[in-house]
A and B are shown apart, each in its own frame.
Chain A
Amino acid sequence: EAGVTQSPTHLIKTRGQQATLRCSPISGHTSVYWYQQALGLGLQFLLWYDEGEERNRGNFPPRFSGRQFPNYSSELNVNALELEDSALYLCASSLIGQASYGYTFGSGTRLTVV
């Protein structure tokens, strides 16, 4: 069974540009979660999507947005990039209502803003 896949693995952007990160959940998982992990720090919750709807949002500005497609894959968009947006962006998936079994994480996209 394929795990959670994220693309690209690395992304370098210039300040002010936009970045698009992609995530494919485990087959059968309908919930997708996005986290930001700045270097050496903890996991900061960004967004949660399920069945195409945004279910919850962390304390991030509106320039962080995303969507979930009918096949449950998801995109995270970051507009007007700032240097402090440089981080590892992790996507995770689970079955709806099954968070207690844990999330399965992808390997992340390393975003570098220069």
Chain B
Amino acid sequence: GQQLNQSPQSMFIQEGEDVSMNCTSSSIFNTWLWYKQDPGEGPVLLIALYKAGELTSNGRLTAQFGITRKDSFLNISASIPSDVGIYFCAGQEGGADGLTFGKGTHLIIQP
């Protein structure tokens, strides 16, 4: 099936730094979603994108639906300790019934 390439696999940053991660696919997606998973919990939906070029914010988080419809980006500004976790991208191809998930980006904030 379709694979999503999510990078980086992990990030070690200092508190206060900005964070960027991305997700790419080999085919066109109609929907891009970003999730965050706290340790020991299920993933929680952060942002949903439905239109090429769309830029959507949720607090310090901003995500973009790539113009080519084959990629998406998530930025976190001024990171804080509670941003620690695993961030997953997910997408839905045209004609597909379900979502495809990326392998996740582990965000670790160093004191």
B interface size (C-beta, 8 A): 24
With contact pairs A42-B102, A102-B45, A106-B42 given, residues A56 and B97 touching in the complex (Cβ less than 8 Å)? yes
Q: Inside 8 A of B30's CB, which chain A residues have their CB?
A: 100
User: Are B48 and A92 closer than 8 Å at their CB atoms?
Assistant: no
Number of A-B pairs, beta carbon distance below 8 Å: 58
Asked if B59 is at the interface of the complex by the 8 Å CB criterion, the answer is no
20 new A-B contacts, CB < 8 A, other than A41-B103, A48-B97, A105-B44, are A40-B106, A42-B101, A42-B102, A42-B103, A43-B88, A43-B104, A56-B97, A88-B40, A99-B96, A99-B98, A99-B99, A100-B31, A100-B48, A102-B48, A102-B90, A103-B45, A103-B99, A105-B42, A108-B42, A110-B40
In the complex, are the beta carbons of B101 and A43 less than 8 A apart? yes
Q: Is the CB of B90 within 8 A of A108?
A: no
How far is it, in angstroms, between the C-alpha of A92 and the C-alpha of B35 when the chains are bound?
13
